[in-house]
């Protein structure tokens, strides 16, 4: 992958621009995670000459969306996000893929958007840094809907904040993260963004939002998923994959 990394960097800086460059400074692990999500999605083996049908939860300004589109060739991607300002940026940034028929958008919230989809109609549901934003009870319902819309053999691919089970170690990790925010954003004189990120972090770490590793993986199992794997952990960031049981239907 190292040989392709310069092209990847150039493409993202060109298409996403300032959003990508700033996020790379504030939270470099999230950029790497978006890339891993895209690469993992692209390994799903669809039927010959059949497009890979993917749903992305929380597309935002399009960073992970672009990672998926650039990694997978023959694809039909539905990007879901109910924050119109960010989604409008994604629509502008990624218009070439819309024009090619590879990308469409939904402005609904994740749960209602999934509920609108037929059962067993999607090969992969992918996301980066979205599920952890949901309150725990809403997240459970979203996971159940993800399971429903996936074909047998379909995948969930989620790069996200999976809190460490060791609370002391997790706290140290968060302290390090906050220190990084202060260092980068004070140097950029972006106190407005610093306030935004700190407030958001308090929300992430609140009792009804925090997505701790063992309960989160158990929740996937309870929903019916198998082959649940957590990999590529970097501090609180990790990639989780899970499979809906059954013969792969494409």
> pLDDT of 189-200, one tens digit each?
888 888 887 887
What is the model's pLDDT at position 173? 87
What is the model's pLDDT at position 166? 86
**Does pLDDT of 113 surpass 50?**
yes
Q: How far apart are CA 123 and CA 46, in angstroms?
A: 8
**To the nearest 10°, the Cα dihedral for 190, 206, 65, 191?**
0
Which residue did the predictor score with more confidence, 209 or 129?
129
**Does pLDDT of 12 surpass 50?**
no
**Domain ranges within the chain, ordered by starting residue:** 5-164+209-243
> 5-164+209-243 in CATH: which number?
3.40.50.150
Mean of the pLDDT values across residues 177-185? 85
SS3 243: strand
> pLDDT of 90-109, one tens digit each?
999 899 999 999 999 999 99
**Does pLDDT of 30 surpass 60?**
yes
* Percent of the chain whose predicted confidence (pLDDT) is above 90: 55
Task: Give the pLDDT band of residue 170 (cuts 50, 70, 90).
Answer: confident
């Amino acid at each position: 992958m190292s040989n392709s990394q310069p092209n990847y960097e150039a493409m993202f800086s060109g298409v996403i621009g300032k959003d990508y460059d700033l996020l790379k400074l504030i939270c470099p692990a999230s950029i790497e995670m978006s890339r891993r999500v895209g690469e993992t999605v692209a390994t799903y083996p669809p039927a010959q000459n059949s497009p890979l049908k993917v749903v992305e939860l929380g597309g935002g300004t399009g960073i992970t969306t672009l990672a998926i589109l650039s990694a997978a060739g023959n694809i039909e991607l539905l990007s879901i996000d109910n924050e119109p300002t960010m989604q409008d940026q994604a629509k502008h940034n990624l218009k070439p893929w819309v024009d090619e028929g590879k990308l469409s958008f939904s402005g609904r919230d994740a749960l209602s958007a999934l509920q609108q989809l037929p059962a067993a109609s999607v090969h992969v549901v992918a996301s980066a840094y979205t599920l952890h934003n949901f309150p725990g009870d809403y997240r459970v319902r979203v996971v159940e809907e993800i399971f429903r819309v996936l074909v047998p053999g379909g995948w969930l691919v989620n790069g996200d904040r999976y809190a460490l089970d060791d609370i002391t170690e997790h706290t140290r990790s968060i302290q390090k993260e906050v220190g990084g925010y202060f260092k980068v954003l004070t140097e950029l004189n972006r106190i407005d963004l610093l306030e935004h990120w700190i407030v958001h972090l308090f929300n992430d770490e609140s009792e009804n939002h925090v997505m701790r590793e063992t309960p989160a993986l158990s929740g996937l199992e309870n929903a019916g998923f198998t082959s649940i794997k957590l990999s590529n952990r970097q501090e609180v960031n990790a990639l989780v994959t899970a499979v809906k049981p059954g013969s792969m239907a494409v």
